[in-house]
Amino acid sequence: MKAANRNFDTFIEDIKVIKARPEISISEIPAPQKLAPYAFAITADLALDLESEDDIATGRFVLLHDPDGQESWDGTFRCVTFVRSALDTEIQSDPMLPDVGWSWFIDALKNSGAKYSQPSGTVTRVASASFGELSSHDESSEIEIRASWTADNPEELMRHVHAWLELMASA
């Protein structure tokens, strides 16, 4: 077995026993099948506290692996993530929010010690107002951060998951 495939298999073993903060629940989900020869995906939900049934953030983490590499990745492992988090409605209108959201992502990668390259993504702000039968619902705001990057050191793939979990907690 090639070392890169061993790293992918080790990642799957490690992710299945990951110890996250108690208010974060993690589940395996079906991974995309057509983006790379190997893929693994998880989802996570972050509750306000251990007693809360309401999630304040949710997200997905997908690890793609192509032993031959892909030109746009500039590597053989690609992380693809999504984080959605509730926001205060006043913060949602801040014109700097997209830049701040992207800095949360980059800071999470740096803080985890993950070696990465080729980061790309979007930061979206969502504002919702309810009408008609739903008019009693409060206005709500969310931030969505979608990002992908190349994991440069296949022996440290879990650092990328920890960066994603940190991003969920900070968003």
**What whole-number percentage of the chain has pLDDT above 70?**
95
116 has which bridge partners?
151
Host domain of residue 98: 3-170
pLDDT value for 158: 96
CB 23 within 8 A of CB 51: no
Q: What is the pLDDT of residue 13?
A: 93
* Residue of 124, 113, 115 lying closest to 149 (CA atoms): 115
Q: Do residues 132 and 139 make contact, with C-beta atoms less than 8 angstroms apart?
A: no
With the CA atoms of 33, 63, 107 and 90 taken in that order, what torsion angle do they form, in degrees rounded to the nearest 10? 40
List, for residues 73-84, the tens digit of each pLDDT value: 999 999 999 999
pLDDT digits (tens, 9 = 90+) for 93-152: 889 999 999 999 999 999 999 999 999 999 999 888 888 888 787 888 899 999 999 999
Q: Is the pLDDT of residue 54 over 80?
A: no
Confidence label for 3 from pLDDT (cuts 50, 70 and 90): low
Domains identified in the chain, total number? 1
Overall average pLDDT of the 17-21 stretch: 87
Supply the mean pLDDT for the chain: 91
> Which whole number is the average pLDDT over 29-38?
95
